[in-house]
Amino acid sequence: MHRVTIYMKPDCPICDNACKAIELSLPKSVPVVMEKIDITGNAELLEKYAQAVPVVLVDGQERFRGQVDPEKLGTLFYNEPGNRLAGIE
């Protein structure tokens, strides 16, 4: 199971667009949990990400800041040898 975490602010059009792009580019055949975290309720996250949202982590590793490239995001779920979906044997 993969986890996509999105650090975002409410009423942020860039964040909303990133969430839509992520939802559309995630492979349907790979189990993925998507977690949206509002940074405004956490002083530490707000200080760290206030000027960078959205920030997207895939399986705990930061992959995007500000904008999401749907094509690059989709490729994160493919293994190089034979282009098999990650996690699918």
pLDDT, one tens digit per residue, over 16-69 is 999 998 988 887 777 889 999 999 999 999 999 999 999 999 999 999 999 899
Per-residue pLDDT at 85: 53
pTM of the complete model beyond 0.75: yes
Contact 32, 57 (CB under 8 A): no
Residues 71-79 have a mean pLDDT of 79
Helix boundaries (H) for 1-89: 13-25, 43-49, 70-75
Side-chain-side CA neighbours of residue 24 (13 Å):
10
Q: What are the residue ranges spanned by the domains of the chain?
A: 2-73
Q: What superfamily would CATH give domain 2-73?
A: Glutaredoxin (3.40.30.10)
pLDDT at 88 over 90: no
